[in-house]
Amino acid sequence: MAAKNGDEKRIRRDGAGGDEDEEEEEENEEVMMEAWERAYADERSWESLQEDESGLLRPLDTASILHAHYRRRLLRRASAPASSRIQKGLIRYLYLVIDLSRAASETDYRPSRMAVVLKGAETFIREFFDQNPLSHIGLVIIKDGVAQRLTDLGGTPDSQIKALMAKRECSGDASLQNALELVCDYLGQVPSYGHREVLILYSSLNTCDPRDIMETIEKCKKDKIRCSVVGLSAEIYICKYICEETGGSYTVALDESHFKELLLEHAPPPAAIAEYAAANLIKMGFPQRGADGVIAICSCHKEAKVGGGYTCPRCKARVCELPTECRLCGLTLVSSPHLARSYHHLFPVTPFNEVTSMPLNKTLRKTPQACFGCQQSLGNQGSNSVLYVSCGKCNQLFCLDCDIYIHESLHNCPGCESQRESRSYDAKA
């Protein structure tokens, strides 16, 4: 499993499916199905029911979905080197390129590729800022053979989404080269410590370029821009080539939910490539929040506002939102929670060990075993595979639901946090 490369997500997914040989046949079929087939599959809902020991009907696939999540997460962790000093590109400058050519009006995705892409882009932008609070995103659309910059690199999700939702039409051809050239120009101005990235959501099967696209790819490579593509139709060689050359990842979606999944894989910060961004100390200000009821003129909207707002510690200008750059002195203004939001990428919770129900446990049934996190009793869930997991450090037991919550949202092990000895942050803080 570890031999599989991180950039070939599609193969890895298939590989993961193949590993779960014990899974039911229809589970495999569902993965392989085309978008149009799913409509019929959804109606065969009787097949996804299962009787448990008390005669209640339960959906069959909850356990396997949990498994899939868990497995995928383990894979992701396993592919990264298990060092505590892993460097991540936490300050990202990403251009989201959206293909709104004629191909985006196809309706193999419901209601159309464009609708799916725009909806996915909205979720992605929100998730991106949630995970990378100090990063910037910009939007570029390709249509009628040209690339057009919709928004400048910015730090607030709402303005980006608003601009995106205003452009709900598609026409003409797509040109990868024009898009890359445009993005190259804009990303050239980004500070050297930032990680330059392009994420292309590509619906077309071809690219209609004015000149040699290979030169543009070389240029991207030289400018250290990491290009990734999520395709909606079929795998295209040129996209694969771009991603391989620039260190990005190329994935092709099977259906709507898979598309969303692939898109959101780009939200957490990628492992930093040392030569791609120079490490640097950035001077930042931590403004105080103004007390309620104080009237001040903000420098961003040039309006008098009552209460709220933050004051730049260097020039005392008032700004409305953080993080931002001071309009007057150019100081990067953040609040300490913004920085703290990224720390979990650097100090992740180690994956828990799967504990299968052993015959030994039957003798211990008298002592009620409960999940340390949520107090749910463990055992007799009726499944034949993993029942619960245990943390390698504190040896506490957790149910599968808590396991997923702990690793995907909480980023703390409640067991380790409830102990004085094995505090993992002591060394770092």
Which parts of 363-382 interact with other proteins (CB under 8 A)? 371-377
Name which position in 342, 350, 383, 390 contacts other proteins (CB under 8 A): 342
Reading the block at residue 276, the tokens are 């791609």
Chain positions 204 to 243 lying near other proteins, rule: CB under 8 A, are: none
Q: Is 101 helix (H, G, I), strand (E, B) or coil?
A: coil
- State yes or no: residue 161 binds other proteins (CB under 8 A): no
Reading the block at residue 406, the tokens are 């702990």
Q: Which stretch binds other proteins (CB under 8 A): 20-28, 142-150, 166-174, 404-412?
A: 404-412
- State yes or no: residue 387 binds other proteins (CB under 8 A): no
Q: Which of 251, 268, 261, 123 is nearest to 195 (CA)?
A: 268
Name which position in 267, 284, 296, 320 contacts other proteins (CB under 8 A): 284
Identity of the residue, 44 or 222, whose beta carbon is nearer to other proteins in the bound complex: 222
Burial (CB count <10 Å: 0-12, 13-18, 19+), residue 129: buried
Reading the block at residue 317, the tokens are 């200008």
- State yes or no: residue 36 binds other proteins (CB under 8 A): no
Q: Is 213 helix (H, G, I), strand (E, B) or coil?
A: helix
Binding mask 82-101 for other proteins (x = CB under 8 A): ---x-xx-xx----------
- State yes or no: residue 339 binds other proteins (CB under 8 A): yes
CB atoms within 10 A of CB 346: 14
Binding mask 289-318 for other proteins (x = CB under 8 A): xxxx-----------------x--xx----
- State the nearest-atom distance from the C-beta of 315 to other proteins, in Å: 11
Identity of the residue, 134 or 164, whose beta carbon is nearer to other proteins in the bound complex: 134
Please confirm whether the linkage preceding 111 is cis (ω < 30° from 0): yes
- State yes or no: residue 323 binds other proteins (CB under 8 A): no
Name which position in 6, 59, 191, 392 contacts other proteins (CB under 8 A): 191
Q: Which stretch binds other proteins (CB under 8 A): 31-39, 93-101, 190-198, 350-358?
A: 190-198
Identity of the residue, 212 or 417, whose beta carbon is nearer to other proteins in the bound complex: 417
Identity of the residue, 297 or 374, whose beta carbon is nearer to other proteins in the bound complex: 374
Give DSSP secondary structure letters for 134-145: T-EEEEEEEETT
Where is 96: in which H helix or E strand?
Answer: strand 92-99
Residue 236 main-chain phi, psi, to 5 deg: -120, 140
- State yes or no: residue 392 binds other proteins (CB under 8 A): no
Residue 337 main-chain phi, psi, to 5 deg: -60, -30
Chain positions 41 to 70 lying near other proteins, rule: CB under 8 A, are: 54
User: What CA–CA distances, in Å, run from 274 to 32, 82, 199, 277?
Assistant: 38, 17, 20, 6
Tokens 């795998």 locate to 235
Name which position in 148, 151, 299, 335 contacts other proteins (CB under 8 A): 335
Distance of CA 349 to the CA centre of its chain: 17
